[in-house]
Structure 1
Amino acid sequence: MSDSIVKVKKNSNGEITDYVLSNGKTVSKAEGVKLAEEGMIDGVIISHSKKGEAYLRSIPDGKESNNLDELS
């Protein structure tokens, strides 16, 4: 069964550092990417920053209210 991201944690620069899953577990950005690659997190895609870092994004649907950035 897959989980979804219900909240995010950010550092002092406003960058997402951790994801809180619907099962209550908090995972790092790297662990979240790994789980998404394994199909264990619903509603996200994997993107890469300009620095080449992998991170999660919500699947684009035109709504800003469900973007991961809004879940802090």
Structure 2
Amino acid sequence: MGNRQKDTELTAALAKNTLDEIPRAKANASKIVGLVKHSGRIDGYQLSNGSTVSKEEGVRMAKNGEIKGVGVAHRGETEYLKSIPDDSENNNLGSLPSVSG
């Protein structure tokens, strides 16, 4: 295994350690395709099924396996969603477009 692959795996492992929970997604789970922002802060998520949910609802849905590709983290008392680290930058939440909610 090359050093580059080891570095990538170490980075992914460290990033996963920042997640409080990585829920198991159901087969019919939606993906997050857009971020609802107000004043630069994420307030909600647009899902692949066309619906838009609040940040709190998104966390609840992810915990119930209804959103795939994300884990739950927290800052202070506030829970939020983060992408599960992998080799692709394209599916990171921060790379998604902003949408109106």
- More helix per residue: 2
Q: How does 1:47-66 map to 2 (within 5 A)?
A: 47-49=73-75, 51-66=76-91
- Percent identity between the two aligned chains: 50
Point out 4+ residue stretches in structure 1 off by more than 2 angstroms: 62-65
Match of 1:35 among 55, 58, 61: 61
Give TM-score, length-normalised by structure 2.
0.65
Match of 1:19 among 42, 45, 58: 45
Higher radius of gyration, 1 or 2: 2
The structure where strand makes up a greater share of residues is 1
TM-score normalised by length of structure 1: 0.88
CA distance in 2: counterparts of 1:30 and 1:6, whole angstroms? 17
The root-mean-square deviation of aligned C-alpha atoms, in Å, is 1.1
**Unaligned stretches of 5+ residues in structure 1:** none
